[in-house]
Amino acid sequence: MPKIIIYTTPTCVYCKMAKAFFKEYNIAYEERDVAADATARDEMIKKSNQMGVPVIDIEGQIITGFDKNRLADLLSVK
């Protein structure tokens, strides 16, 4: 399984949807709360060139927002 990092904030609805998607398919991920961790926020901005969440990094493939179809394609789930 690829390494997945999801950059989130506690109140982000789309972040919760992305995490629910990962849970539904038993996909392990590392969560980084950019509201509480300035280093993670800076890392997210450097990777995505934006401040919106979620930002999902799948082995260097950056997805901004919750794009269920793209996640399913990249992770080979249906």
Q: d(Cα 20, Cα 50) in Å, to the nearest integer?
A: 23
Question: What is the band of 78 on the pLDDT scale with cuts at 50, 70, 90?
Answer: confident
pLDDT in tens, 19-77: 999 999 999 999 999 999 999 999 999 999 999 999 999 999 999 999 999 999 999 99
Tokens of 46: 């450097």
Query: Is residue 4 predicted with pLDDT exceeding 80?
Result: yes
Looking at residue 70, its pLDDT comes to 94
Looking at residue 42, its pLDDT comes to 97
Residue ranges of domains in the chain, CATH in brackets: 4-75 (3.40.30.10)
**CA-based torsion, 74, 72, 22, 8: positive or negative:** positive
